[in-house]
Structure 1
Amino acid sequence: MKLVTIEHEGREQVAFWTERGVIPMTWLNDQAGTDWNTELFALLQHNQFTELRDWYDNQGQEKLSSLPYLPANEATYRALYRRPRKIIGVGLNYREKAIELAGRAAEEEPVIFIKPDSTLIGPGESIRLPGEAGQVTAEAELALVIGQTCKNIQEEQAMSVVAGFTTSLDMTAKDIHARNPRFMQRAKSFDTFLSLGPSISTPDEYSNLEALEIKTVHNGLVAHSNTVSSMIFSPAYLIAFLSDVMTLHAGDIILTGTPGSVPIQPGDTTGCEIAGLMQLNNVVEG
């Protein structure tokens, strides 16, 4: 199942992303007499996401095929949602990137940080470069959307709590971080320093997650790419590790690390490209 958040009828709401086009949830509710929440975060928070996926797998695809749709290229796309409870970042999670930046092999444990929701923007919105920040980089990442509350979950069961995957861009004030590694949280926390994609694809959409490729795009060109198999800590391991530290709730976002960053400046366009998801693009402003 693939869903998107669009701006429609004056507000941001969830819609199905199908081969024919985009079908707002409000249209399904109106025409099929259903009562699904019309915002993705509410679906997750009220335990409706799993029910919706079961409905989609059993009868939903057929039902949707009879509904009207918006052409995909005519919809206005927004971030999946605006106020997750937690946005958790993971640094240095690709072997090549870790060696390049740190000059050594992987750490024994993941490097983690928290992004405030005031950093969050969506597709088409502008990344604003703070005047005092110096050089800023953008990093494409596969993001995990948690679908149910979990604590101390085992790695073998960890993927069962994932609602789906989305694209993301994590920005870093590189000069601030370079002055002192302890400044990483500040370097990650400026407004507009996280972009979240418009689409979510459920895990069953991927037959081989290990082969999934994440690409950092800069001014229309792929600057870096790598696959999930090259992560030091797998998505399942990250969920298990983080759930030992903190309770994970439905709607929490985990950024799994980047295959490579690009320096950005005003006038640039930067993005994240992952198969099975809508490409995420943002412009850069000074």
Structure 2
Amino acid sequence: MRFARYGEAGQEKPAVLDAEGRLRDLSGVLPDLAGAALADLPRINPQSLPLVAGAPRIGPPVGQVGKLICIGLNYTDHAEEVGVAAPPEPVVFLKATSAICGPHDPVSLPRGAEKGDWEVELGVVIGRRAKYVSEEDALAHVAGYTIVNDVSERAFQMERAGQWTKGKSCDSFAPIGPWLVTPDALGDVQALDLTLDLNGIRMQTGTTARMIFPVAEIVAYLSALMTLEPGDIIATGTPPGVGMGRIPPRYLTEGDEMLLRISGLGEQRSPVVRDL
């Protein structure tokens, strides 16, 4: 099934998509797509639910996210692009949950930003608490999948003292959605195509088949470092084509538009603005 959340930021309601791609209001069945509800998402005939009128804002498909965990350098061709060896184990960093926004909300470059960049990524939404789980059992803890844009400010990330967090956690730097798609509706998670277009020009093309560490291994690995709770989201790395890796580099500017797609997960369309 395909789930979504709609409405003004901070006031989103849960919904499910019907066969025609129309939003059906789910708020009479559960209060939100968040927390413990993700362990047992309702299997319901969308036709039995009321249609959502108009064209409301689509919010991130998961509410009350506790952790947004990111995996760096997880595609063989992306590691080659930036000139580094494939890591021997997953590169892990955290992104502030205050960076989360809807899939079509503006991405706002912060004051002083010089090198804004894009990263289309498969997002894994945890549905059941995971601690020391095996790779064989890892996917049973996943509620579903979504699209994450791990927007980065490379100058903040790599040219200022400290860790990557500075360049990863600015407000609006984590558009998520539009949908939360259950594993049974998605198929083989290691055979998904990912693309990102900037102003109508293809920048990123990849496949999850090129992941260095596949989803099951990532979930198991992280569960040995920290308890994964329902609603936590893992961004699993990006394929080649980021702005930093181009010759010459191409960075985001006000007025740009990013279009992200992943097989079976819909698309994001984010305009780029600049903080005043």
TM-score (norm 2): 0.89
Aligned match of 2:166 in 186, 194, 205? 186
Counterpart for residue 57 of structure 2: 76
Q: CA deviation at 1:249?
A: 0.2
Aligned match of 1:279 in 258, 267, 270? 267
Counterpart for residue 17 of structure 1: 17
1:124 aligns with 2:117: no
Q: CA deviation at 1:180?
A: 5.9
Counterpart for residue 3 of structure 1: 3
1:134 aligns with 2:114: yes
Task: Tell me which amino acid in the other structure corresponds to 1:87.
Answer: L
The 5 Å alignment of 1:227-266 reads: 227-260=207-240, 261-262=242-243, 263-266=251-254
Task: Tell me which amino acid in the other structure corresponds to 1:93.
Answer: N
How well do the aligned residues superpose, as a CA RMSD in angstroms? 2.0
Counterpart for residue 33 of structure 2: 40
Counterpart for residue 72 of structure 2: 91
CA deviation string 1:244-270 (max 9, x = no partner) = 100000000000011132321100011
Task: Tell me which amino acid in the other structure corresponds to 1:215.
Answer: T
Q: CA deviation at 1:123?
A: 2.3
- 8 A contact 2:38–2:230 mirrored in 1: no
Q: CA deviation at 1:152?
A: 0.7
Which deviates more, 180-189 or 105-114? Answer: 180-189
Q: Among the aligned pairs, what percent are the same residue?
A: 32
User: What secondary structure, in the 3-state scheme, does the structure 1 residue paired with 2:87 have?
Assistant: coil
> Which structure features the higher share of helix residues?
1
CA deviation string 1:36-83 (max 9, x = no partner) = 322111xxx23x334334xx1xxx23xx33444247x83431112453
1:65 aligns with 2:66: no
Task: Tell me which amino acid in the other structure corresponds to 1:83.
Answer: Q
Counterpart-to-counterpart distance in 2, 1:170 and 1:49: 23
- 8 A contact 1:216–1:259 mirrored in 2: no
Cα distance change on mapping 1:77 and 1:182 into 2, 3 Å = same
Q: CA deviation at 1:115?
A: 0.6
Which deviates more, 262-271 or 224-233? Answer: 262-271
Which deviates more, 210-219 or 237-246? Answer: 210-219
Cα distance change on mapping 1:179 and 1:39 into 2, 3 Å = same
Q: Which has the larger radius of gyration?
A: 1
The 5 Å alignment of 1:218-233 reads: 218-233=198-213
Which deviates more, 197-206 or 179-188? Answer: 179-188
User: What secondary structure, in the 3-state scheme, does the structure 1 residue paired with 2:7 have?
Assistant: strand
Q: How many residues align?
A: 264
Task: Tell me which amino acid in the other structure corresponds to 2:15.
Answer: A
Cα distance change on mapping 1:224 and 1:181 into 2, 3 Å = farther
Q: CA deviation at 1:178?
A: 3.3
Aligned match of 1:159 in 139, 155, 167? 139
1:213 aligns with 2:193: yes
Task: Tell me which amino acid in the other structure corresponds to 1:4.
Answer: A
User: What secondary structure, in the 3-state scheme, does the structure 2 residue paired with 1:65 have?
Assistant: helix
**Gaps spanning 5+ residues in structure 1: where?**
30-35
**Gaps spanning 5+ residues in structure 2: where?**
244-250
